[in-house]
Chains A and B, each alone.
Chain A
């Protein structure tokens, strides 16, 4: 399961990309220093995927699609619910790690 939100930005997909894909860009709008971001997919300037999580938040996958539209760019974000069956994963790995 996942949540999906979108917004239109009056700027080119490239400008949006800068704000999403670079640390300097993210610092201008994303204020959650407790989360580590691990970028998985960089397909400039249209698709970006990162994983993030922290001490308090479960790890989730965030995907951004940036589409060119008449006003500039449409940004569609999808965050997947924390669906990792962590306990199950750990149990299945236990024999290997023991």
Chain B
């Protein structure tokens, strides 16, 4: 473990050192995990994803019928999901443009959450053991 005490005042700023190293030369994240979670950080987009999980595919008019936002806003959110690689165009029904989840797109995110939970389970058990073992009797 490597703790740095930079001269910059706050931890948040220093933390950008961690973030910097995750950008390749072209400024892309090496994997889409950050982008996927950023897309899912928005509650409206999470609703859209659960709608897609339930319905299989959907469209701008269908989503704006169930969400309290304009078609334009729906289209914008869909485009953000598309940008994060979460949705793609589905085969059209008639003239309607439909969208569906890109197969496997959610897997890295759900895997991260599961692994993080398991990791903390283990770390907290070790923390408990270490602190209790060091107790003066």
List, in ascending order, chain B residues with CB within 8 A of A8's CB.
128
Mark A residues whose CB is within 8 Å of B.
1, 3, 5-11, 15-16, 19-20, 23, 26-33, 35-41, 49-53, 55, 58-61, 75, 77, 79, 81-91, 94
- Contacting residue for A28 out of B29, B41, B134, CB 8 A: B134
Selected interface stretch from B10-18, B58-66, B68-76, B92-100: B10-18
A86 in contact with B29 (CB, 8 Å): yes
Within the complex, the shortest CB–CB distance from B32 to chain A, in Å, comes to: 8
Mark B residues whose CB is within 8 Å of A.
1-4, 10-12, 14-15, 17-19, 21-23, 27-29, 31, 33-35, 37-41, 109, 112-113, 116-117, 120-121, 123-132, 134-135
For the complex, give the distance between the alpha carbons of A94 and B27 in Å. Answer: 9
Known: A7-B128, A16-B131, A94-B27. A79 touches B15 (CB 8 A): no
B120 in contact with A26 (CB, 8 Å): no
For the complex, give the distance between the alpha carbons of A4 and B121 in Å. Answer: 10
B35 in contact with A86 (CB, 8 Å): yes
